[in-house]
Amino acid sequence: MRGPSLRRPSYIEICKGGIFVSKKGMSDLAKQEEKLALKLLIPAFLILIIIAVYPLGQVFYASFTDKKFAGTEETNFVGFKNYDKLLSFTIKELPPKIDDETGKQVVDQETGKKVYKSPIYVLPRKPYLYRPINTFKLFGNKYVIGSADSKFISSLWNTMVFTVCSVLLETLLGLLVALVVNSEFKGRGAMRAVMLVPWAVITVVSAKMWEWMFEPSRIGLMNTIFEKIGLGNGNIAFLSMSKFQLPSLIAVDVWKTTPFMALLILAGLQLIPNELYEAARVDGANKVKQFFSITLPLLKPSLAVALIFRTLDALRVFDVFQVMLAQKRYSMASYNYFQLISARNMGKASAVGVIIFILIFVFAVMYIRVLGVETE
């Protein structure tokens, strides 16, 4: 049994405190109050069901059919076919390309690397056309991984890379900003207001604005700056070259969401009592030690909340990908959109939606376990 602790109650605990008490040893009055509480919650539950559960159920159902978006054909039930098409993958060995004359493996003149047969001949074409995603070497043989829906798998990869990089950068920068804004200095109030401006701008508007900044000629701000400092010649096509696409999008997202992270972390910082710092100073701890032994542990709950929010949001990223990259490179959500609009395949698009949902669910559960956010 935990005794009274100096630990600040976590955000989750504060929310939960009050209504739910352990069932054992409840008086009749308490039981009555509980029944009344449930009755009063019914309208809220109804609204939740209509607004959240019903559409979700529709998407689940549609993912098992071959419905066409804005089409008048009959919809048929196809079971798991959509999921099969999206997630099927295969691994095949790539035979080496043999030179007809020498009977030995061909070696590329320019790079000196051994040449293998092109995956297009090896990967199966029925029941789905498998496209190569990646190759790897094992025990001296080369293998190729083929996927039935390579665009979906690459959208999955894009989303993961985007999420990991942007959340990491946002948390670090947000922590920095929050620490700065937490200290006393003149104009602190104004700074706190100004800091929120990127978060306040609508994502589509800021994505469009950044798209103009990334314009591939000297009309774009980024190209002008890069040229002035000597990188590139003013013609870098940020949004068309695959090595610059994700970094550009991550930059936009970090710019937009760092204030949000800073705000959540600031709220956590404000709750740490100053006496702890004074006591530590008296004991002779320097700033760095204070940060790692006082600030960080006490900040863990707010960091946890901020991380959960941002990761779940980043996994669902749609606006920056749709506005800036359209059909050049997909995130899972923008792939979903284009399946709906271009292929008009509502069944497959719904399946993508369900996969995103499951992925986010898994992440949420994992976070709650790993970060030790207490649940009763």
Partner 1 sequence: MRKGLILALSIVLVMAFSLGVMAAKKEVTIAGGSVGIELELTKKAAKMFEETHPNVDVKVMDTPDSTNDRLGLFLQFLEAESPKVDVYQIDVIWPGDLGEHFLDLYEYGAKDVADKHFQAIIENNTVDGRLVALPWFTDAGLLYYRTDLLKKYGYDGPPETWAELEKMAKKVQAGEREAGNQDFWGYVWQGNAYEGLTCDALEWIKSNGGGTIVNKDKEITINNEKAVEAVNMAANWVGEISPPGVTGLMEESARKMWENGNALFMRNWPYCYSTGNQEGKVINGKFDVAPLPAGDSGNGASTLGGWNLAVSKYTDTPELAVELAMFVAGEKIQKMRAIEGSFNPTIKSLYKDEEVLENSPFFGKLYDVFVNAVARPSTATAPKYAQTSELFFQAVHSVLTGEQSAETALAYLQLDLQDLLGYDVK
Residue of 56, 84, 234, 277 interacting with partner 1 (CB under 8 A): 234
Residue 19 CB, nearest distance to partner 1 (Å)? 39
Does position 239 interact with partner 1 (CB under 8 A)? The reply is yes
Does position 75 interact with partner 1 (CB under 8 A)? The reply is no
Element (H, E) at 92: strand 89-94
By C-alpha distance, which of 30, 136, 150, 178 is closest to 89? Answer: 150
Residue of 237, 276, 280, 308 interacting with partner 1 (CB under 8 A): 237
Residue of 76, 135, 293, 327 interacting with partner 1 (CB under 8 A): 327
- Can you tell me whether residue 290 is helix, strand or coil? helix
Peptide bond before residue 55 is cis, with ω within 30 degrees of 0: no
Does position 216 interact with partner 1 (CB under 8 A)? The reply is yes
Binding part of the chain for partner 1, among 120-128, 137-145, 179-187, 289-297 by CB under 8 A, reads: 120-128
Residue of 6, 29, 42, 70 interacting with partner 1 (CB under 8 A): 70
By C-alpha distance, which of 252, 226, 365 is closest to 314? Answer: 252
Q: What is the DSSP letter of 234?
A: S
Does position 241 interact with partner 1 (CB under 8 A)? The reply is yes
Does position 218 interact with partner 1 (CB under 8 A)? The reply is yes
Residue of 38, 172, 326, 358 interacting with partner 1 (CB under 8 A): 326
Q: Which is nearer to partner 1, 261 or 349 (CB)?
A: 349
Residue of 271, 343, 358, 366 interacting with partner 1 (CB under 8 A): 343
CA 283 from centre of chain: 42
Does position 113 interact with partner 1 (CB under 8 A)? The reply is no
CA 192 from centre of chain: 26
Does position 84 interact with partner 1 (CB under 8 A)? The reply is no
Size of the site for partner 1 (CB under 8 A): 33
- Can you tell me whether residue 126 is helix, strand or coil? coil
Does position 58 interact with partner 1 (CB under 8 A)? The reply is no
The structure tokens listed for 80 are 């798991």
Rounded to the nearest 10 degrees, how much is the dihedral formed by the CA atoms of 159, 165, 166, 172? Answer: 160
104: Cβ contacts below 8 Å, ≥ 6 apart: 98
Question: Contact 371/307 with Cβ under 8 angstroms?
Answer: yes
User: Residues in the site for partner 1, rule: CB under 8 A?
Assistant: 69-72, 118, 120, 125, 128-129, 131, 215-219, 234-237, 239-242, 326-328, 337-338, 340-344
